Structure 1
Amino acid sequence: MDSQALLGLFNNAALLLALALLIELTRAEAQPETRLRQMLIGVGIGVVAIALMANAWPLDPDFIFDARSVLLSVSGLFFGMVPTLIAVTISAAFRIYYGGSGMLAGLLIISSTASIGLLWRRWRPPTRSLGVLELYGFGLVVHIAMLLCLWTLPSPVFWSVLQQIALPVLLAFPLATVLLGRLLSYQFERRRAQEALRASEEKLRCYLDYAPLGVFITDQSGRYVEVNPAAGRMLGYSEAELLGMTIPQVLAPEAHAAGMAHFACVRASGSASGELLHRRRDGSPIWLRVDAVRLNEHRFMAFCEDVSARRATEAALRASEENLRVIFEQAAVGVALIDSRSGRFLRINRHYCEMIGYTVAEMSSGCSFQDITHPDDLPLDLGNMRRLLAGEIREFVMEKRYFHKDGHVVWVTLSVSPTWAPGETPCTHVAVVQDITDRKRAEAELRLKSAALESSLAGFDIVSEEGLFLYVNAAYLRLWGYERPDEVLATLPTEHCADPAMPAHIMATLQAQGEGTFEFTARRRDGSTFDVLMACHMLRDERNRVLYTGSSLDISERRRIEAEIRNFNTELEQRVRERTAQLEAANQALETFVYSVAHDLKAPLRGIDGYGRLLQQECAGGLPGDGSLFIDNIRRATQQMGLLIDDLLAYARLDRRALRRELINLPALVAAAVDEHAAEIQHLAATVRVEVPPLWPRADPDGLAQVLRDLLENALKFHRPAVPLEIEIGGRRTVQGTAMLWIRDNGIGFELKFHDRIFEIFQRLQRAEDYPGTGIGLAIVRKAVERMDGRVWAESVPGAGATFFLELPL
């Protein structure tokens, strides 16, 4: 490295030191960091950068080497965005002006080093001070990046330049970065310390002026040299009158000896506390607690508190200690006494423990408030405690989160007050907590509802008692054709209705009823109209003001569809009436035909049966072969046919017979059906249990009696051979308000897949030879029950019996 290069480097170093000195001078007086000040700092850094480039180490006529990388990177690290951008702009402009083949590399170095400084500033923890190692590492990163920017040079030039500057750059410039950074860091730290000292002095002055305690400062002879207003009020003197007076002049005569001994103790040991009797200006006595400290060899400070009332009430206070303990334990809020240094709970009440799920023993066995505080809230809580311990604040209130013992979060309002007096050593503080979890949930729910209201498809508005819009949501704007809420708030509700009298009608209805739903024609901003359905309510806010709310939907399309549906329904009803008349006529004709056919068939069947009986009686012995057997078969077939016709007639008569609806005594009707089949029950040795509560369904007496007969006959018929027959008849009132009756047997049962089939006409599951019948009985049961607006169904297991259920209206 030649002498010219060394001279350039020394000049650069001198300029960097000059920059640090300049910043020190500009920051000598605390000034607010305004945007203009930042711009001026940026201009100053830019000028220094120009000076650096002007005193650079020229490697060749087109390429210069200087310490601007140190300057700009440190500028980004310490001064932030605005000064650095201005300095970069000035530096880049000068470099462009300087020109040469290294201009592009120079611009890249300017932008990259400044960017690294800004990014380092952004990503590093702001509370950590800049140490030598961090600054050295920062300088290495910056200047490695600087060397990488030289790749833009032609390859021969790049390697030549790199051989000349790499070692000086990597050795000297990080050290220069450390030196400049430490100087600036020292200046910043000293400025912050000065500002903290001034703030502390201002707080102390404010405290002395507004402190409730009397503050006396004396010289070594005991003469008052400074007092605060509270001291003058305490003794009845003005501040000017107290200055120059001595300690004995304000003491009661009988307390002179004790007072002077107290002062001597302060001078000897540095502090003393005691209660001394003083005399006010008007001669009245006053007991003061005096806490005195030695500030230095020539000044002593005493904090005085009027304890006259305390002495007079000490007995009452002792008597009230138990009451205070009860209040502490039974308070509706959580109260705890906490060690201010460690945060450990020293004493805690029951409500506090219930709030966070721990017992008093668990909380008092070394647990601290840090252990149960949410980590996101702990920094603020600890910061407030540091300020409290430092005397910067006397109390604080904050909202924070605790962890409940089971893991869920409990929101509380925390109020902290110290138990030490000003000037005393911090020891403990009282924490009062109130559970606000429900309030926080309500706030979150309110935010959610507000978001839902804004995203609702229904228009929503709030109108004052005077008829002025107070709020509209986005859907309301879309419905009425407005773009911004302020456009609506400047209008009246009458402008939004085709009928201007509608708003007054709505308000009058709400005043009378409190709520209502209205359909009316609305007018949009452009004059077009649409049909709207609005649900409105009247309510009062926290100041008891009347408000009207409305939730609106565009029902224009619904009204159009309703009109079409009404027209379609009218046409459909006419078609249904016509079709119903046709079906009724056809059913009537079919029933008449069935009845006539069934009735006309009985006459020839009676003839066939009669002639068969005569043949049996008169020719029984003269019939050849199986003649008697054939006649028996003929007679059985005609009798079966007669039964089938009778059942068919009964099925047809159900629709022909008028339906009577009466309240029926169901237990009595069941008992009558059982008595009617008493002979058959006795013959089968069957057991019939009847447990029907007093129920009075509304049904047709004849129809229900026939249903019970048919179901009981089925239970008796379909029994299992060699198995004692058991029948249970029960009932109850359902939760739907209907009467339910069931008939359960232990007969042969059936498979549930045939459930619907057994209620159809002429359908049988067993052979007629095994279980005689026509297959119409259950069809009659279903038809009769449905005519009475009831329903019938069955449950069964093959070989285990069946249960038939009836449900009838009450």
Structure 2
Amino acid sequence: MLYLVVGLLWIALSDRALLLMVDDLELLGQLQTLKGWGYVVVTAIVLFLLVYFPLKARDRASREARRLTGIVERSPVVAIEWATTPGWPVTFVSPNIERWGIARDALLRGEVHYADLIHPDDIDRIVAEVAAHIERGPDRYTQLYRLRDGPGGWVWLEDRTWLTRDESGQVIRINGLLVDVTERRRAEQDLRDSETRFRAIFDNVQEAILLQDLDTEALIGLNAAAEKMYGYSRAELLACNVADLSADETGFDVQRQKALMERARRGEQLVFEWRARHRDGHGFWVEANLQVTEIAGEKLLLVTLRNIEARKQAEAALARQVDRLSQAERHAGLGSWEYLLENRELWWSDRLYGLLGCDAHYGKPTLESFARNFFDLESADGASFSAALETLIAGGRPGPQRLLLKARPEVREEAWFSLTMEAPIERADGLHYVQGTVLEVTELKRNELELRNLNATLEQRVAERTAALQALNQELESFSYAVSHDLKAPLRGIEGYSQLLEADYGEQLEGEGRTFLSNIRNGVAQMNELISDLLAYSRMERRPLEERTVRVRALVEEVLESVDRGLRERAEVSIEIDPDLCFVSDPDGVALILRNLLENAFKFSAEREVPQVTVQAESRSATLGITVRDNGIGFDMAFRDRIFDIFQRLNRAEAYPGTGVGLALVRRAVHRLRGEIRAEGMPGEGATFQVEFPR
């Protein structure tokens, strides 16, 4: 419009001016024609300029926009704009959002709501934060949340948002720059995990760890073991200084500690023992390790402490034990030695120096001198000792030895020693050593010689005593023959004459005469029985034992057959024995025991209306027990030991005939078979005899 007005004015004014200035019509026509073309040219130039510069600016802006778009598309930052209506519809988003697998067009068309892409665990927090910023500001803020990507995973976003408000303060647009911080979050999580692992390791290390500032000497770090070691809480321990944690004892003052720390500052790595102080005031030993270390670019003093109180106590106890051992060696006359094979080092105890007549400070012994200079190699086990030590000298490994050696005369006069040598033992460091002892046995050797001489004398005396016993046995055999022959011969004469007297003159004898004759014959019978029992008793110890398998039930039945038939038939006999029960013993000895016990059972229960005799046997772990029980007259337990003595009777012979030898014979037979016998009874209620035989 402005250009049209200017053009019309130009035409009107220029025509008027030409009319006023030029009178020639032809010239006027030429000038008007020239003026018209000039107007056209100027108009064209103006139009060109009016069109050229805006187009050029637009083209430059377009190129700039394309360049910025390319930068944005290649940038990790996604530009986005939301409307403030519910669901936050996206009104603009840069194309590079599709790198996360999210369709840009779907967002712009509203087919996908941005809020639906936020992680369910984050959406409520994000909505609340945005509402708070819209209501109260500030208008620039940053949020972290997870956004669903196309493949179904999640990306962590840092959303740098700013709000645009109108003049009334209402938010009209929400703009944001989205940055993928997934890798950063993963790195941060890895760092946190690493710090957690480091702290777990740091706090679970058995040794106490302290970190100290080199300049201020203040504690700036510690682990749980340090708290436990000193008894302080973390805050209390960080407030402590070196003096607070050191025992107030001579040699462990703060000045010495500072001197050690100064050496550590100069680069030395120090390991030393120190007396620390617990919170309750008691001191304890620690092994300290000091070294300068760099953490996060800062040089610190790293102090590692190990509680060695138990070790120090063990060392003190060991020192006391070594002292006691040395004293015990002195009292016992025992010395010890040890040889390290790989290093060829020999060690003697102080007592061994004394035993071998040496000064403990004269010098270090060698295996060669030990093998050749102290013992007489021609005595007793000298050759074996020499061979064993020469094997050690040559690098070999002899087996265990126990040797008797005599000292060389120049070492000890007439001194004898017992030397032991163990097989090589491997130490914890892989080296091998041989240990041994040297015990002086001079007095023992002297006593041995005396004992040997005494044994020779005793052997002679035993031989003489054996000969005397053999002579006595021979005399006993002769006596037994005399008893069995010479004593029984007159009895047989008396028996024979009494029988003749009864046969030839029995009818002429009156009542009293017949009584006398009966007493004579009964006395002869009792005398015969007594002589037989005495012979059996005396022969018991000389009778050879024949150990064979004894079937217990069969032997009991066999013995019962030999018992008086009249007594046996009157009684109720019960045999409670397994037919297969057997053991190894002398059958004749067992039969003798059973015979005497069963005869007594029948004899002393004969007056009962129904005599009862029971025989039982059972096998135990190491013995076999046989029990004989009756319901006879029994006995008083006060006499249970007396009934086994020879010739001891608890009843009158007229009522219960016998010699008083039977139970004595039983006890001797049981003892000879290495068994035991016990008796139990009550007057009027029977008796029980239990015999235990070894299996």
Q: Distance in 2 between matches of 1:495 and 1:724?
A: 89
CA contact (8 A) 2:636 2:681 kept: yes
Closer/same/farther in 2, CA of residues 507 and 616 from structure 1, 3 Å limit: same
Instruction: Determine which of 743, 750, 754 is the counterpart of 2:627.
Output: 743
Whether 2:457 is the aligned partner of 1:580: answer: no
- Are the counterparts in 2 of residues 461 and 470 from structure 1 also a CA contact under 8 Å? yes
Tell me by how many angstroms 1:533 deviates.
0.6
TM-fit CA distance, 1:518: 0.6
Query: Counterparts in 2 of 1:560-575, with a 5 A limit?
Result: 560-575=446-461
TM-score (norm 1): 0.44
- 2:652 aligns with 767
Match for 1:598: what amino acid? S
| Identity, % of aligned positions | 32
Are 1:480 and 2:365 counterparts? no
2:369 aligned residue: 492
Partner letter of residue 745 of structure 1?
R
Report the equivalent of 2:617.
Answer: 730
1:541 aligned onto 2:427: yes
Tell me if structure 2 keeps the 8 A contact 1:536–1:550.
Answer: yes
* Residues 552/765 of structure 1: CA separation in 2 closer, same or farther (3 Å cut): farther
Question: Hey, what does 1:642 align to over in structure 2?
Answer: 528
Distance 2:573 2:616 in 1: 13
Say if 1:793 and 1:642 are closer, same or farther in 2 by CA, change over 3 A.
Answer: same
Aligned partner of 1:454 in structure 2 is 326
Alignment of 1:522 with 2:407, yes or no, is yes
The residue type paired with residue 548 of structure 2 is E
Rate the CA distance shift 1:466–1:745 in 2: closer, same or farther, 3 A: same
SS at structure 1 position matched to 2:526:
helix
Q: Distance in 2 between matches of 1:577 and 1:621?
A: 65
Letter in 2 for 1:772: P
Contact 1:591 1:652 in 2 (8 A): no
| Residues 432 and 481 (structure 1), Cα distance of their counterparts in 2 relative to 1, 3 Å cut | closer
CA distance in 2: counterparts of 1:596 and 1:659, whole angstroms:
25
The amino acid that maps onto 2:337 is D
Name the residue aligned to 1:696: 583
What RMSD in Å do the two structures reach over aligned CA positions?
5.9
Check whether the contact 1:540–1:547 (CA below 8 A) recurs between aligned residues.
yes
3-state DSSP of counterpart to 1:696 = strand
1:332 & 1:637 partners in 2: Cα distance?
Answer: 104
Write out aligned runs for 1:151-166 (5 A).
none
**Cα deviation digits, residues 354-398 of structure 1 (max 9, x gap):** xxxxxxxxx9xx9x999xxxxxx99859xx9x99xx9x9999999
1:467 Cα shift? 9.6
Q: 1:574 to 1:692 in 2, by over 3 A?
A: farther
Does 2:439 align with 1:553?
Answer: yes
Distance 2:643 2:522 in 1: 25
Partner SS, residue 373 of structure 2: helix
**Secondary structure of 2:659 counterpart:** coil
Match of 1:471 in 2: 347
- 1:191-241 deviations in Å (ceiling 9; x for gaps): xxxxxxxxxxxxxxxxxxxxxxxxxxxxxxxxxxxxxxxxxxxxxxxxxxx
2:577–2:618 CA contact under 8 A, matched in 1 = no
- 1:713 is paired with a residue whose SS is helix
Deviation of 1:532 after TM superposition, in Å, equals 0.8
Query: 1:542: how far off?
Result: 2.9
Deviates more, 1:484-493 or 1:614-623: 614-623
Describe the SS at the equivalent of 1:626.
helix
Q: 2-side partners of 1:638 and 1:652: how far apart?
A: 21
Asked if 2 retains the 8 angstrom alpha-carbon contact of 1:470 and 1:489, the reply is yes
C-alpha distance in structure 2 between counterparts of 1:399 and 1:724, whole Å:
92
Deviations 1:10-57 (Å, cap 9, x if unpaired)?
xxxxxxxxxxxxxxxxxxxxxxxxxxxxxxxxxxxxxxxxxxxxxxxx
Q: Distance in 2 between matches of 1:432 and 1:595?
A: 98
**Does the 8 Å CA contact 1:693/1:731 hold for their aligned counterparts?**
no
Q: Is the Cα contact below 8 Å between 2:601 and 2:613 reproduced in 1?
A: no
Deviation at 1:519, TM superposition (A): 0.8
Instruction: Give yes or no for contact 1:533–1:555 (8 Å, CA) kept in 2.
Output: yes
* Pair 1:753–1:761, CA change in 2 (3 A): closer
Per the alignment, residue 570 of structure 2 pairs with 683
The one-letter code matched in structure 2 to 1:495 is N
- Give the distance between the partners of 2:246 and 2:601, measured in 1 at CA: 83
The one-letter code matched in structure 2 to 1:471 is: W
1:475 is aligned with what amino acid?
R
Larger radius of gyration: 2
Higher deviation after alignment, 600-609 or 615-624? 615-624
Partners of 2:588 and 2:403 lie apart in 1 by 52
Q: 1:321-372: per-residue Cα shift (whole Å, max 9, x none)?
A: 999999999x897999xxxxxxxxxx999xx99xxxxxxxxx9xx9x999xx
The aligned residue for residue 387 of structure 2 is 505
Q: Secondary structure at the match of 1:543?
A: coil
Aligned-partner Cα distance in 1 for 2:289–2:201: 18
Aligned: 1:531 with 2:416: yes
Letter aligned with residue 775 of structure 1: G
Q: How far did residue 571 of structure 1 move? A: 2.4
Distance 1:630 1:558, change over 3 A: same
Kindly tell me: are residues 733 and 777 of structure 1, through their superposed partners in 2, closer, same or farther at Cα, counting changes over 3 Å?
same
The answer for the alignment partner of 2:478 in structure 1 is 592
Contact 1:752 1:795 in 2 (8 A): no
Equivalent pair of 2:602/2:613 in contact (CA under 8 Å): no
Distance change >3 Å, CA 323–CA 610, structure 1 → 2: farther
For residue 426 of structure 1, what is the aligned residue in structure 2?
none
- For each residue in 1:105-140, what CA deviation from the matched residue of structure 2 results, as whole angstroms up to 9, or x when unmatched? xxxxxxxxxxxxxxxxxxxxxxxxxxxxxxxxxxxx
In the alignment, the residues of structure 2 paired with residue 433 and residue 310 of structure 1 have an alpha-carbon distance, to the nearest angstrom, of 40
Q: How does 1:9-158 map to 2 (within 5 A)?
A: none
Taking a change above 3 Å as real, the CA distance of residues 623 and 310 of structure 1, as seen in their structure-2 partners, is: farther
Task: Say whether the 8 Å CA contact 1:537–1:550 is kept in structure 2.
Answer: yes
1:707 aligns with 2:584: no
- Residue by residue over 1:414-439, the C-alpha shift from the partner in whole angstroms, topping out at 9 and shown as x without a partner, is 9999xxx999xxxxxxx9999997x7
**Contact 2:374–2:408, Cα closer than 8 Å, also in 1:** yes
Secondary structure class of the residue paired with 2:572: coil
Distance in 2 separating the partners of 1:714 and 1:401? 88
Conservation of the 8 A alpha-carbon contact between 1:761 and 1:775: yes
**Contact 2:640 / 2:680 at 8 angstroms: preserved in 1?**
no
Q: Note the C-alpha offset of 1:695.
A: 5.0
Distance in 2 (alpha carbons) for counterparts of 1:630 and 1:324: 122
CA contact (8 A) 2:534 2:661 kept: yes
> 1:550-603: per-residue Cα shift (whole Å, max 9, x none)?
212222222222222222212221221122112212222222222332234434
- The CA deviation string for residues 678-706 of structure 1, in whole angstroms up to 9 with x for no partner, is 96455333545437985532x33222322
1:477 Cα offset (Å): 2.5
Tell me the alpha carbon deviations over residues 602-621 of structure 1, each in whole angstroms, 9 at most, x when there is no partner: 34434544554566677666
C-alpha distance in structure 2 between counterparts of 1:369 and 1:665, whole Å? 89
The equivalences for 1:406-445 within 5 A come to none
How many angstroms apart in 2 are the aligned matches of 1:675 and 1:335? 93
Task: Give per-residue Cα distances to partners, 1:640-668, cap 9 Å, x unaligned.
Answer: 22211222333344456544333444565
